[in-house]
Amino acid sequence: MGWIDITQPLNKNIATWAGDTKFIYETVATKEQTGSVNVGMLQMSLHSGTHMDAPFHFDSDGHTFEQLDFERCIGKVVVIECLDNDLIEVAQVEGKIAGVKAIFFKTKTIANAHIFPQEVPTLTLETVAYLKECGINLIGVDVPSVDKVASKELPIHHALAQQDIYIVENLLLEHVDAGRYDMIILPLLIEGADGSPVRAVIKEEEQ
């Protein structure tokens, strides 16, 4: 099997946080106008669709994207199903993450990327600590946040950053089975940025 795209398509219907910048793409100059090319313009929140958070997003002293290690965005990942759970506990990951540095949590079977969820499942602080003990340095979720939607303190964001674990949100995992994969999930190199869209792809690990 080839590479599997796990990126939410960016379009005018993509759900965004309340009050955040809506996604807009426009062709601002056409080939007929320029005589040679079509030219597009993009306006969006850096936290629309499938994206990575930089620590600066929730910590004014945190790293921005030019300071992050892109090499941890390429490698082995395990997808774990945690369906219909409010909390992701240590017991749900024990024995499943040996030999990988990244983990994706599949928490739903239908994406509905055009609908912003009223609530999302989150990791426990004990799970964050366990992931660090196991050598995990990147996690991904198929929801807009690793914290509860109304949270202002963002305890899981901060706990992950303290453990130097990168955060990817809004993965598209509805068509992906639990198991081990190769991954490429690269953010844009936006200097000074708190977030970045990513194109995320995985491929079944060869046995």
Q: Which residues are catalytic?
A: 57
SS3 state at 75: strand
C-alpha–C-alpha distance, residues 142 and 104, integer Å: 8
Q: For the CA atoms of 19, 150, 142, 91, what is the dihedral angle to 10 degrees?
A: 170
Question: Cβ neighbours of residue 158 under 8 Å, at least 6 residues apart?
Answer: 58, 59
H or E stretch at 132: helix 125-133
Contacts of 143 (CB under 8 A, 6+ apart): 107, 108, 117, 120, 121, 169, 170
Residue pair 122/156 in contact by the 8 Å Cβ criterion: yes
For residue 121, give the nearest of 149, 158, 87 by alpha carbon: 87
Which neighbouring-strand residues pair with 7? Answer: 171
User: What is the spatial distance between Cα 105 and Cα 116, in angstroms, rounded to a whole number?
Assistant: 18
Token pair for 154: 């963002």
